[in-house]
Amino acid sequence: MLAHPAHWIAQGFGSGLSPIMPGTSGTLFGWLCYVVLSTRWPQIFNAPNWLAIIAAGFVVGVWACQRTGRDLNAPDHGSMVWDEIIAFWLVLVFLMPADLKTQFYAFIVFRFFDMVKPPPIAYFDRRFKGGFGVMWDDIVAAFYTLLVFAFWRAA
């Protein structure tokens, strides 16, 4: 992980190195970071700033996942979880303000879409390769998660 800064980022600062469900571990790490930063410094970590962080994190993630996938000789290595972190931050910022229970349900729904990969997520996962492909399918999973919550809140 420490061989190159890209690995450190792509592997979620070590959270993706979990031997059990690294994607879930990375998402949990992202959730923890979001809650701690938003609670500790709400004037800095507000919705507009989070969106800027997410946009920059997506761009950095394309580079980091591309480099890490190449170095590990696996384009979408399981230890790369930056995509889950950025995508789950996107879910959380659009659900803001949300209590812990709602955030937990969002976590479950997001992980479902990320693991099951219903169409068109599976299409994007197969079609787009490299760093962009790694990042993009999780953004689509985040979109699906937000759709579920939009329908749930409208009902």
Cβ proximity of 6 and 63 under 8 Å: yes
Cβ proximity of 112 and 144 under 8 Å: no
List, for residues 64-102, the tens digit of each pLDDT value. 999 999 999 998 899 999 999 999 999 999 999 999 999
Can you tell me which residue has the tokens 């790369």? 80
Can you tell me which residue has the tokens 């979001």? 34
Structural domain range at position 28: 5-154
The number of folded domains in the chain is 1
Give this prediction's pTM.
Answer: 0.95
